[in-house]
C-alpha cells in the first residue's frame, strides 16, 4: 500500500497513530500531581517536536545517506521562516501559500549553496556550508534589514496589505489559519483529572510531519536512496560505475534544504515571527545533534532525537533550585544543599551543558545513536533468551534493514 | 590615506587573534590530522584565565575602619586585597594593575594541562575515526566548555582592563606627518599585535631550530615514515596539542582588554579561524599566519564607509566571500601543500 | 580496427618521458595484456586510458570516440568497466545492492532522480543482479554486507559489478597485485571462467608474468615508456628483447 512494503506500512501506521494520539499519550500524569511537570502534551511543545522532526528527518536524508555533514542547514530554516512571514504580511494569513513559498525559496537557496559547496567534500564541505550560513546570518542582520527587519525580527503589523484577506477591523493582529481554522484554537478536554489539549496547529504540524516522514521513507527505499548510500560508501567506485555522484548529492542537499524550509515556514505559521538567530550556526548544530543523538542514517533516529532533545529541553529548563529542593526535601540540609547545587549545574539554565555532555557521550560510545542503543539492548535480551536454544551458533549476519 | 592606515592597524590586532587561533588549529590538523572544533573554546578559556587572575589578585579581606564613617554613620568597611597586604600597598596595586599580562603565567600552565588532558583523554581515540566524528565530538566538547564557563562566570561580558599605563592611545599619525588625532591607535592593541608576533616567532623558531620541532615537522609531512624510524611521535604530538592550546590561551588572555570576554566569544572566533585556516591552506603554518593578518586587514578595509557605500554590508560578509572564492578556485589554500585534502 | 585504439600517445612529467609514442590496438573479444618492468609507464598509460591524465600528444579512441578529458563516469557509460588493484566495492551495502547499482547505471545513465520508485519493484534489475551473482557463485551471499566478505570474494564481487554492465571493454589494473599464490590462482581461474562463458574484451595491465601467460591472447610489452613488441604469448616468451627488458627482474 502507498508503495510501501508491509513492514514499512506498519511502521508508518504506528507513527501516524502516535502522532494522532500524542496529546493524550504525552499527558500521562494528573494535572495536580507532582509528576504533572513531566507531561509534554502542550500544544507549543508538541508543535516544536513535530517541526524539528521534519527538520531532522530532512537533514538525515543528506547526512545519514550521503555522509555529507552540513553545518549550515539553519540558513534554510531561517529563509523558510522569512518567506512565510512575507506571505502572511502581503498575501494572506492562510498558512498554505506561506509554507508553499518557504519550501520553494529554501529549495532555490539550497540549490545555489549546494551547487557551490558540493564542489568540495569532507571537512571542506562542512566549513563551506558553515561559512554560507554564517554569511546569511550576518546579512540578515545588516544589509538585508529591509527584508528581515534586522535584530527585531520580522513581525506582523496591523497595516500589512494581506491582499487576499478581508479587511482587518478588529484592531488586533490576525491569527494564522488554515481556511479560517485558527492555528491557535485548542479543544480542551478534562478527563480523569487530566487536561488534554487538542490544538489545530499541532495537528497541522503533526500531519505534515507524517507526510514528510512518508516521503523520506520512500526516498530511503528508492533506487535514488540506494545511490545516496553508494555516495557515502565509495564515491570512487561510483564514478567508475558510470554514475555522477554530484547531481545525486545535490538533489539530496536540495531535498533536505526544502525540508528545513518547510520546518521554518511551519515555525512562522505557529508563531508569526522570524528572527535571524534562527540561522545561527548553533541552530545548525542543534539539528546535527538531533540526528546524531537519535541515529543518523536510520528512519526513526532523527524523530527520536528531535523528540528527545525538545522534550528534555522543556523539562530540564523547568527544574530550578526550588523544584530540586522539593525533590531532595527528605534529606538533611548538609546533603541536600550540595546535591541541589550539583543537579542545578545540569538542569534549568544548565540544560545546554547536559546536552553537550550527552552529545559527546553519544559520539564516543554510541555512534549509531539511540536507535543503535535500543538495538544493542534488544540483542542482549534476545541472546539471553536464546542462549538455551539449539539454533546455529553463528549464522552469517544478514544486513540490517535501514529502517531499524 | 590616513583612513587606510588606520584600518590597516585596526585589522592587525584582530588579524593577530585570527592568526594565533588559526596557527593552533592548523598545527593540530597538520600533526594529528584532527579537525578541532573546540579550539575557539580554548581561546575563550584563555580569556577567562585573565578574568580569573584579575579576580584572584583582587581577593580582599574586609576591615572595619572605626575612624571613618560611611554615609549611614556606621564604621567604614575597607577592602584590602591580600596582594597589597603581602607586598605592600604600592607593589600590590601595581600587581593588580598588571593582572592581564600576568595572567599569561596562569594561562600557559592551565592551557598546557587542558591540552594534554584533551588529547590523551579524548582526541587520541579519534585519530582513526572519520573527520565527521572528530568535528562532532569536538563540537560537543566546545559546548561543554562554553557552558561550564557560563555557569562559573555568568553570561554577561566581563570588562577586564589593561594596565593603566596602556589605557591611552598612541597618535601614530602625528609621528609620520599626518595632522594630530588623524590616526590614533590604542596602546594595548599595539602591544597585542607585537605580542602575537612574538608568539608566532617563538612557535616558528621552536619548530625550526629544535630537534623536537624537526621531528614534528617531519611528522606533519609524513607521519608513518617518522613512526617507522622508531621515534615516539605520539608523545610529541601530545605536547604539540598542549602548545597549540597554550597559544590559543595566550591569545585569549591578552585579548581581554580589547573586547570584554563572554562565554560564546570562542565560537565567534572559531568560525572565522576555520576560514582563515582554509584560506591559508590546511596544515600550512605560514599560510595560517598570513591569512589571519590578511583577512583581519581586509575585514577592516571593508568596514570603511567608502567601501560600504559601494557594496553595502560587505564588512559583514567579506571573510566568507573570500573563503568561498578561495575554496572554489584554489582548494588547497594560498600556501597549502599539493594533495592535502584537495578533494 | 580494434575496439580500443591508442595512437601516438606521449606524456612527459618534467624531465621524465613517461610515455613516448605509444601505439596500441585492442581487438574485440580478445584478452590483451600490457606488461612491462616497473617504471615502464604502465600506470601512466592506464591513467590516460581512463581519462585521468591528458597526454601531450596522440589520441585514444574507444569504439571510434575519443576518451580524452572525459570524466570516469562518462567513460564507463561509453562501455569501459574497470577492476582495481584492491577491490573497490560499496562496503556498507549488501552484495546484491552492490550488483544492482551498476545495473541502474547502465539502464538509467549517470543520473536519474528515481526517488519515488521502489527498489523491490525493479524486477528486471533484481533479476539481472541475481543472475550475475549466480554465475559467479555468490548468490548465497546476496544479503551480506560487502565489507564483511573475504578478499577473494570482494574481488569476485567487483568482477560481478563490472560484468553485469556487459562492458565492451573490461580494464583490469594488476588484478593480482599483493595476492598470495593461492588467491592469484583463484583469480586466474575466475577470469578464465568468465572468458569461457561469455564474449568479452579484456585489457589487463599486469606485472606478474604467470597471470599474463595464463590468460592473454595478445601481449604488448612496454619498456621505458614505449611499446617494445606486441605479439602472441608464445612468441613473447622466446623474444630476446623482452628478456633483456626484464633482465634483473625475476621473470617467472
Cα-Cα end-to-end distance for chain A? 20
Q: How far, in Å, are B23, B170, B290 from residue B14 at the CA level?
A: 14, 18, 13
- What pLDDT, on the 0 to 100 scale, is given for residue A58? 96
Contact assignment for A363 to B140 by CB distance below 8 Å: yes
Q: How many domains does chain A have?
A: 1
Contact assignment for B343 to A131 by CB distance below 8 Å: no
Nearest CA to A347 out of C74, B283, B147 is that of B147
Q: Is residue C70 part of a domain?
A: yes
Tell me which residues of chain A, numbers 9 to 68, contact chain B at a CB-CB cutoff of 8 Å. Answer: 67
Percentage of residues of chain C with pLDDT beyond 70 = 97
Tell me which residues of chain B, numbers 64 to 83, contact chain A at a CB-CB cutoff of 8 Å. Answer: none
- What pLDDT, on the 0 to 100 scale, is given for residue B226? 66
Together in a domain, C171 and C73: yes
Across the range B29-48, mean pLDDT stands at: 88
Number of neighbours of residue B338 by Cβ within 10 angstroms:
6
Q: Is residue A386 part of a domain?
A: no
Q: How confident is the model at residue A1 (pLDDT cuts 50, 70, 90)?
A: low
| B233 or B154, higher pLDDT | B154
Q: Is residue C85 part of a domain?
A: no
Task: Give the domain range for residue C110.
Answer: 90-166
For residue C63, the distance in angstroms to the closest alpha carbon of chain A comes to: 17
Contact assignment for A251 to C113 by CB distance below 8 Å: yes
Q: What is the CATH number of the domain that holds C21?
A: 3.40.50.300
- Has residue B75 got a pLDDT over 80? no
Together in a domain, C197 and C245: yes
Q: Is residue C158 part of a domain?
A: yes
CATH T-level assignment (fold) for domain B2-60+99-329: ABC transporter involved in vitamin B12 uptake, BtuC (1.10.3470)
**Locate cell 535480551: which residue?**
A381
Contact yes or no, C with B (3+ CB pairs under 8 Å): no
- When mean pLDDT is compared over A97-111, C100-114, C171-185, the highest value belongs to A97-111
Q: How many domains does chain C have?
A: 2
Q: pLDDT tens digits for A54-98?
A: 999 999 999 999 999 998 999 999 999 999 999 999 988 889 999
- What pLDDT, on the 0 to 100 scale, is given for residue C78? 92
- When mean pLDDT is compared over A103-107, B169-173, B188-192, C229-233, the highest value belongs to A103-107
Contact assignment for A237 to C90 by CB distance below 8 Å: yes
- Has residue B181 got a pLDDT over 70? yes
Of C166, C201, C232, the domain-final residue: C166
Contact in structure between B230 and B209 (CB atoms under 8 Å): no
- Interchain CB contact of C114 with A (< 8 Å): yes
Q: How confident is the model at residue C93 (pLDDT cuts 50, 70, 90)?
A: very high
Task: Give the domain range for residue A245.
Answer: 6-280
- Interchain CB contact of B176 with A (< 8 Å): no
Q: Is residue A317 part of a domain?
A: no
Contact assignment for A251 to C115 by CB distance below 8 Å: yes
Contact in structure between A340 and A319 (CB atoms under 8 Å): no
Cross-chain CB nearest to A292 (options B136, B271, B327)? B136
Tell me which residues of chain B, numbers 18 to 37, contact chain A at a CB-CB cutoff of 8 Å. Answer: 35
C-alpha cell at A241: 560505475
Q: Is residue C150 part of a domain?
A: yes
Q: Is residue C21 part of a domain?
A: yes
Q: Is residue A358 part of a domain?
A: no
Backbone angles phi, psi at B77, to 5 degrees: -85, 125
| A138 sits in which H/E element | helix A122-141
Chain C residues whose CB is inside 8 A of the A7 CB are none
Cross-chain CB nearest to C76 (options A224, A240, A251)? A240
Mean pLDDT of chain A: 85
Determine the distance from the C-alpha atom of residue A64 to the mean position of all C-alpha atoms in its chain, rounded to a whole number: 14
- Has residue B242 got a pLDDT over 80? yes
- Interchain CB contact of C76 with A (< 8 Å): yes
Together in a domain, C133 and C177: no
Q: pLDDT tens digits for C113-161?
A: 888 888 888 889 999 999 999 999 899 999 999 999 988 889 899 999 9
Together in a domain, C116 and C239: no
- What pLDDT, on the 0 to 100 scale, is given for residue A210? 95
DSSP annotation string for C63-128: TTEE-TT--HHHHHHHTEEEE-SS----TTSBHHHHHHHHHHHHHH-S----TTS-STT-HHHHHH
- Interchain CB contact of B132 with A (< 8 Å): yes
- Interchain CB contact of C156 with A (< 8 Å): no
Q: How confident is the model at residue B249 (pLDDT cuts 50, 70, 90)?
A: very high
* Residue C65: strand pairing partners: C62
Across the range B252-276, mean pLDDT stands at: 86
Q: Is residue A96 part of a domain?
A: yes
Across the range B195-202, mean pLDDT stands at: 93
Contact assignment for A399 to C94 by CB distance below 8 Å: yes
Q: Is residue A362 part of a domain?
A: no
Of C108, C132, C166, the domain-final residue: C166
Q: Is residue C183 part of a domain?
A: yes
Together in a domain, C53 and C171: yes
Contact assignment for A359 to B147 by CB distance below 8 Å: no
For residue A224, the distance in angstroms to the closest alpha carbon of chain C comes to: 5
Mean pLDDT of chain B: 83
- What pLDDT, on the 0 to 100 scale, is given for residue B337? 66
Q: How confident is the model at residue C77 (pLDDT cuts 50, 70, 90)?
A: very high
- What pLDDT, on the 0 to 100 scale, is given for residue B231? 66
Helix (H, G, I), strand (E, B) or coil at C236: helix
Q: pLDDT tens digits for A327-336?
A: 777 888 888 8
- What pLDDT, on the 0 to 100 scale, is given for residue C181? 83
Domain ranges of chain B: 2-60+99-329
For residue C75, the distance in angstroms to the closest alpha carbon of chain A comes to: 7
Instruction: Using CB atoms, list chains with 3+ pairs below 8 Å to chain B.
Output: A
Contact in structure between B25 and B277 (CB atoms under 8 Å): yes
Q: Is residue A286 part of a domain?
A: no
Together in a domain, C63 and C99: no
Q: How confident is the model at residue A262 (pLDDT cuts 50, 70, 90)?
A: very high
Please give the ipTM for the structure prediction: 0.90
Amino acid at each position: 500500500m502507498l508503495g510501501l512494503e508491509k513492514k514499512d506500512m506498519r511502521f508508518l501506521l504506528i507513527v501516524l497513530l502516535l502522532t494522532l494520539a500524542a496529546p493524550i499519550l504525552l499527558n500521562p500524569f494528573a494535572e495536580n500531581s507532582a509528576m504533572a511537570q513531566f507531561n509534554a502534551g502542550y500544544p507549543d511543545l508538541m508543535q516544536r517536536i513535530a517541526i524539528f522532526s521534519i527538520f531532522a528527518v530532512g537533514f538525515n536524508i543528506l547526512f545519514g545517506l550521503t555522509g555529507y555533514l552540513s553545518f549550515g542547514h539553519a540558513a534554510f530554516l531561517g529563509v523558510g521562516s522569512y518567506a512565510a512571514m512575507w506571505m502572511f504580511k502581503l498575501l494572506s494569513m492562510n498558512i498554505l501559500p506561506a509554507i508553499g513559498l518557504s519550501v520553494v525559496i529554501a529549495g532555490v537557496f539550497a540549490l545555489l549553496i549546494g551547487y557551490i559547496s558540493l564542489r568540495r567534500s569532507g571537512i571542506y564541505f562542512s566549513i563551506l556550508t558553515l561559512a554560507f550560513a554564517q554569511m546569511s546570518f550576518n546579512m540578515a542582520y545588516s544589509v538585508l534589514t529591509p527584508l528581515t527587519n534586522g535584530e527585531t525580527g520580522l513581525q506582523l503589523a496591523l497595516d500589512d496589505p494581506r491582499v487576499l484577506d478581508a479587511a482587518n477591523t478588529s484592531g488586533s493582529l490576525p491569527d494564522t489559519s488554515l481556511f479560517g481554522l485558527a492555528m491557535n484554537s485548542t479543544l480542551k478536554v478534562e478527563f480523569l483529572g487530566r487536561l488534554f489539549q487538542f490544538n489545530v496547529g499541532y495537528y497541522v504540524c503533526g500531519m505534515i510531519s507524517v507526510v514528510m516522514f512518508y516521503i523520506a521513507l520512500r526516498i530511503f527505499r528508492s533506487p535514488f536512496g540506494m545511490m545516496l548510500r553508494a555516495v557515502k560508501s565509495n564515491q570512487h567506485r561510483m564514478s567508475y560505475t558510470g554514475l555522477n555522484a554530484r547531481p545525486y548529492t545535490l538533489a539530496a542537499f536540495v531535498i533536505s534544504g526544502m525540508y528545513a524550509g518547510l520546518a521554518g515556514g511551519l515555525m512562522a505559521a505557529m508563531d508569526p515571527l522570524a528572527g535571524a538567530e534562527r540561522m545561527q550556526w548553533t541552530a545548525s548544530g542543534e539539528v546535527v545533534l538531533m540526528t546524531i543523538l537519535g541515529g543518523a542514517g536510520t528512519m526513526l533516529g532523527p524523530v527520536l532525537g528531535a523528540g528527545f532533545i525538545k522534550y528534555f529541553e522543556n523539562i530540564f529548563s523547568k527544574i530550578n533550585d526550588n523544584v530540586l529542593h522539593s525533590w531532595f526535601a527528605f534529606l538533611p540540609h548538609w546533603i541536600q544543599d550540595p546535591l541541589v547545587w550539583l543537579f542545578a549545574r545540569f538542569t534549568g539554565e544548565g540544560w545546554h551543558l547536559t546536552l553537550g555532555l550527552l552529545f559527546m557521550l553519544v559520539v564516543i560510545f554510541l555512534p549509531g545513536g539511540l536507535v543503535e542503543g535500543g538495538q544493542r539492548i534488544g540483542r542482549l535480551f534476545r541472546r539471553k533468551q536464546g542462549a538455551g536454544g539449539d539454533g546455529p551458533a553463528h549464522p552469517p549476519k544478514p544486513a540490517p534493514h535501514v529502517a531499524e | 590615506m590616513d583612513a587606510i592606515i588606520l584600518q590597516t592597524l585596526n585589522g592587525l590586532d584582530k588579524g593577530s587573534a585570527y592568526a594565533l587561533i588559526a596557527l593552533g588549529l592548523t598545527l593540530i590538523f597538520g600533526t594529528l590530522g584532527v579537525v578541532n572544533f573546540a579550539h575557539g573554546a580554548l581561546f575563550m578559556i584563555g580569556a577567562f584565565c585573565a578574568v580569573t587572575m584579575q579576580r584572584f589578585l583582587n581577593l580582599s579581606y574586609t576591615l572595619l575602619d572605626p575612624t571613618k564613617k560611611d554615609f549611614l554613620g556606621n564604621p567604614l568597611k575597607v577592602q584590602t586585597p591580600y596582594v597589597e597586604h603581602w607586598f605592600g600597598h604600592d607593589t600590590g596595586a601595581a600587581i593588580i594593575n598588571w593582572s592581564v599580562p600576568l595572567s599569561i603565567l596562569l594561562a600557559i600552565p592551565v592551557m598546557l594541562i587542558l591540552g594534554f588532558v584533551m588529547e590523551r583523554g579524548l582526541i587520541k581515540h579519534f585519530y582513526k575515526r572519520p573527520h565527521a566524528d572528530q568535528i562532532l565530538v569536538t563540537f560537543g566538547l566546545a559546548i561543554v566548555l562554553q557552558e561550564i564557563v557560563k555557569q562559573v562566570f555568568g553570561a554577561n561580558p566581563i570588562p577586564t582592563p589593561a594596565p593603566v599605563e596602556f589605557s591611552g592611545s598612541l597618535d601614530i599619525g602625528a609621528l609620520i606627518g599626518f595632522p594630530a588625532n588623524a590616526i590614533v591607535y590604542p596602546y594595548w592593541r599595539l602591544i597585542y599585535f607585537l605580542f602575537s608576533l612574538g608568539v608566532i616567532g617563538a612557535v616558528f623558531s621552536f619548530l625550526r631550530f629544535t630537534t623536537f620541532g624537526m621531528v614534528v615537522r617531519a611528522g606533519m609531512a609524513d607521519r608513518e615514515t617518522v613512526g617507522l624510524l622508531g621515534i615516539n611521535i605520539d608523545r610529541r604530538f601530545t605536547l604539540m596539542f598542549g602548545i597549540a592550546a597554550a597559544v590559543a590561551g595566550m591569545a585569549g588572555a591578552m585579548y581581554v582588554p580589547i573586547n570584554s570576554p563572554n562565554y560564546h566569544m570562542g565560537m565567534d572566533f572559531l568560525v572565522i579561524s576555520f576560514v582563515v585556516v582554509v584560506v591559508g591552506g590546511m596544515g600550512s603554518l605560514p599560510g595560517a599566519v598570513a591569512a589571519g593578518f590578511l583577512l583581519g586587514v581586509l575585514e577592516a578595509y571593508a568596514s570603511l564607509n567608502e567601501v560600504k557605500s559601494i557594496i553595502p554590508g560587505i564588512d559583514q560578509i567579506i571573510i566568507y566571500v573570500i573563503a568561498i572564492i578561495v575554496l572554489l578556485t584554489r582548494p588547497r589554500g594560498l600556501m597549502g601543500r599539493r594533495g592535502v585534502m584537495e578533494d | 580496427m580494434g575496439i580500443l585504439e591508442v595512437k601516438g600517445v606521449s606524456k612527459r612529467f618534467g624531465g621524465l618521458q613517461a610515455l613516448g609514442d605509444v601505439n596500441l590496438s585492442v581487438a574485440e573479444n580478445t584478452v590483451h595484456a600490457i606488461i612491462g618492468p616497473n617504471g615502464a609507464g604502465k600506470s601512466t598509460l592506464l591513467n590516460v586510458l581512463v581519462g585521468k591524465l591528458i597526454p601531450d600528444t596522440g589520441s585514444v579512441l574507444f569504439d571510434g570516440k575519443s576518451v580524452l578529458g572525459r570524466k570516469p563516469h562518462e567513460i564507463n557509460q561509453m562501455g569501459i568497466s574497470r577492476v582495481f588493484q584492491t577491490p573497490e566495492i560499496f562496503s556498507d551495502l549488501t552484495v546484491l545492492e552492490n550488483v544492482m547499482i551498476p545495473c541502474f547505471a547502465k539502464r538509467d545513465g549517470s543520473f536519474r532522480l528515481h526517488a519515488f520508485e521502489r527498489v523491490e519493484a525493479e524486477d528486471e534489475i533484481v533479476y539481472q543482479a541475481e543472475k550475475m551473482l549466480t554465475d559467479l557463485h555468490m548468490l548465497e551471499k546476496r544479503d551480506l554486507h560487502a565489507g564483511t566478505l573475504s578478499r577473494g570474494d570482494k574481488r569476485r564481487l567487483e568482477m560481478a559489478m563490472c560484468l553485469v554492465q556487459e562492458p565492451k571493454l573490461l580494464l583490469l589494473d594488476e588484478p593480482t597485485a599483493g595476492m598470495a599464490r593461492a588467491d592469484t590462482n583463484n583469480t586466474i581461474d575466475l577470469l578464465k571462467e568468465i572468458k569461457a562463458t561469455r564474449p568479452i574484451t579484456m585489457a589487463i595491465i599486469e606485472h606478474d608474468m604467470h597471470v599474463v601467460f595464463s590468460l592473454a591472447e595478445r601481449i604488448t610489452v612496454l619498456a621505458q615508456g614505449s611499446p617494445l613488441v606486441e605479439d602472441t604469448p608464445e612468441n613473447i616468451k622466446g623474444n630476446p628483447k623482452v628478456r633483456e627488458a626484464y633482465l634483473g627482474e625475476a621473470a617467472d
